[in-house]
Amino acid sequence: MEQISIIDSKDHVDERVKIGVWLTDKRSSGKISFLQLRDGTAFFQGVVVKNTVGEEIFDLAKKLKQETSMWVTGTIHQDDRSHFGYEIEIDGIEVIGESGDYPITPKEHGIDFLLDHRHLWLRSSRPHAIMEIRNEVIRATYEFFNQEGFIKIDAPILTDSAPEGTTELFKTKYFDREAYLSQSGQLYEEAGAMAFGKVFSFGPTFRAEKSKTRRHLTEFWQIEPEMAFMHQEESLQVQERYVAFLVQNVIDHCAYELKILGRDVGTLKKYTKLPFARITYDKAIEMLQASGKFPDLKWGVDFGSPEETFLADQFEQPVFVMNYPKSVKPFYMKPHPTRDDLVVCADLLAPEGYGEIIGGSERSTDYDYLVSQLEKTGQDIKNYEWYLDLRKFGSVPHSGFGLGLERALTWITGEDHVRETIPFPRMLHRLNP
């Protein structure tokens, strides 16, 4: 008898197999028990019929507690009524590990309770589906950048630079000096691009965000590509190809998970059509003002969630908002060639109110400009000498961007809160588990 995983049931219809499982829920009548089972790869139902298995196994099945682990043997059948499509008719059960009173029951729990039990909650079908999609997005990310000729250059986590400004830094002791947890790998990717042409990093980044919004984590994962000999317009094309590729791969490989989450595939399909819309910041301000919904809005402000949602709602697909005021963006962005007050950048806003999923720009190649920008923000030039070196030795036009993995996942999965999309979220009041 072959030992299989639930996910491979389709290849074993009408065969007798052995599977290691946990019990997630059960229901019994006098003669038949339905065991809801999971093995990490998927969820399906086991059916135990008293007349077939005999009294002993039937009684054992009835007494099993939630999250008991066991070997089950039985025959796989097609089951068109379930999301998964297959079930097992059980003929044998061997308990591996007994379970106590499992805190997460099939009834409703509050969000704080669930987050306190995140280490167990991960076993449930919704978080499970989201993590499978997270894994697919990561897999597709590597596929995309490898096929586009990028190489992965890992950026350090412990740094002494603050690319995104000094207000949201996590500081830590570093022997006899201070270090920061990386806000972004970008500056290192710029060095990488000058060495390898097209590079990307994928790693955790940190922001000491005191804001308790649906979009903010203090620790989140960023994919940060950086391309030498590339202007912003070409970078936007890489970005839209990448995002459409992610969505397409989730549609192609995560149909079961999307079904569990109730995410409409037809809606997602719209986001694979290229090109995405493009508007300037100036135009965005015009649209917001014309709507009458933002009476106090003035040119020069950064957008918050209500503005981003309004703008995104005007388009069927994600939309690039280009060329923001210099004053609301980081020091490294290239100044606009004809407008002194703007930088050559874009944020990609996701539809359906999910906000900014990518921030990117062309980078300034002007040594003196960068020094003056750093000085303006009160940063210690000494810590950036290596970065400024990149402008001294064969500087070239280059552009890059950062996609927030959890932001993108929140949108793709249709979840309400970014915390659902990372295994162990870190937020203002949450460091455990």
Of residues 210-249, those binding ligand 4AD (CB under 6 A): 216-217, 220, 222, 224
In the bound complex, what is the minimum distance in angstroms from residue 51's beta carbon to ligand 4AD? Answer: 55
Residue 396: closest CA among 359, 346, 362: 362
In the bound complex, what is the minimum distance in angstroms from residue 355's beta carbon to Mg ion? Answer: 10
In the bound complex, what is the minimum distance in angstroms from residue 347's beta carbon to ligand 4AD? Answer: 6
Residue 324: closest CA among 198, 209, 276, 307: 307
As a whole number of angstroms, the distance between CA 83 and CA 193 comes to: 45
Contacting Mg ion (CB under 5 A), which of 163, 318, 359, 400?
A: 359
Phi and psi (nearest 5°) for 326?
-55, -35
Identify which range of 301-309, 317-325, 350-358, 375-383 contacts ligand 4AD by CB under 6 A.
350-358
User: Which amino acid appears at position 378 of this protein?
Assistant: G
Q: Give which of ligand 4AD, Mg ion, none residue 418 binds (C-beta under 5 to 8 Å, depending on kind).
A: ligand 4AD
What Å distances lie between residue 145 and 135, 204, 307, CA to CA? 16, 18, 32
Q: Give which of ligand 4AD, Mg ion, none residue 281 binds (C-beta under 5 to 8 Å, depending on kind).
A: none
In the bound complex, what is the minimum distance in angstroms from residue 358's beta carbon to Mg ion? Answer: 8
Instruction: Give 38 or 207: the residue with its C-beta nearer to Mg ion.
Output: 207
Contacting ligand 4AD (CB under 6 A), which of 344, 360, 373, 415?
A: 360
Q: Which residue has the tokens 């210690």?
A: 380
As a whole number of angstroms, the distance between CA 303 and CA 299 comes to: 10
Pairing status of strand 219-228 against strand 398-404: antiparallel
As a whole number of angstroms, the distance between CA 190 and CA 198 comes to: 9
Contacting ligand 4AD (CB under 6 A), which of 9, 36, 141, 184?
A: 184
As a whole number of angstroms, the distance between CA 285 and CA 223 comes to: 29
Identify which range of 181-189, 258-266, 294-302, 355-363 contacts Mg ion by CB under 5 A.
355-363
Q: Which residue has the tokens 């030039």?
A: 381
Assess 425 for contact with Mg ion (CB under 5 A). Answer: no
User: Based on the number of CB atoms within 10 Å of its own CB, is 186 exposed (0-12), middle (13-18) or buried (19 or more)?
Assistant: buried
Q: Give which of ligand 4AD, Mg ion, none residue 351 binds (C-beta under 5 to 8 Å, depending on kind).
A: none
Residue 234: closest CA among 300, 148, 174, 155: 148
Q: Which helix (H) or strand (E) holds 255?
A: helix 255-261
Q: Give which of Mg ion, ligand 4AD, none residue 224 binds (C-beta under 5 to 8 Å, depending on kind).
A: ligand 4AD
As a whole number of angstroms, the distance between CA 281 and CA 199 comes to: 28
Number of chain positions touching ligand 4AD (CB under 6 A): 23
Identify which range of 35-43, 124-132, 250-258, 356-364 contacts Mg ion by CB under 5 A.
356-364
Q: Give which of Mg ion, ligand 4AD, none residue 207 binds (C-beta under 5 to 8 Å, depending on kind).
A: ligand 4AD
In the bound complex, what is the minimum distance in angstroms from residue 250's beta carbon to Mg ion? Answer: 23
In the bound complex, what is the minimum distance in angstroms from residue 75's beta carbon to ligand 4AD? Answer: 46
Instruction: Give 161 or 183: the residue with its C-beta nearer to Mg ion.
Output: 183
Instruction: Give 46 or 163: the residue with its C-beta nearer to Mg ion.
Output: 163
Residues 240 and 139 sit within 8 Å (Cβ to Cβ)? no
Q: Give which of ligand 4AD, Mg ion, none residue 42 binds (C-beta under 5 to 8 Å, depending on kind).
A: none
CA 348 to chain centre: 15
Instruction: Give 245 or 401: the residue with its C-beta nearer to ligand 4AD.
Output: 401
What Å distances lie between residue 86 and 4, 117, 160, 343, CA to CA? 13, 30, 54, 55
As a whole number of angstroms, the distance between CA 84 and CA 45 comes to: 9
Instruction: Give 66 or 222: the residue with its C-beta nearer to ligand 4AD.
Output: 222
Of residues 371-430, those binding ligand 4AD (CB under 6 A): 400-402, 404, 406-407, 418
In the bound complex, what is the minimum distance in angstroms from residue 328's beta carbon to Mg ion? Answer: 9
Rule CB under 6 A: which residues touch ligand 4AD?
A: 163-164, 184, 186, 207, 209, 216-217, 220, 222, 224, 356-360, 400-402, 404, 406-407, 418
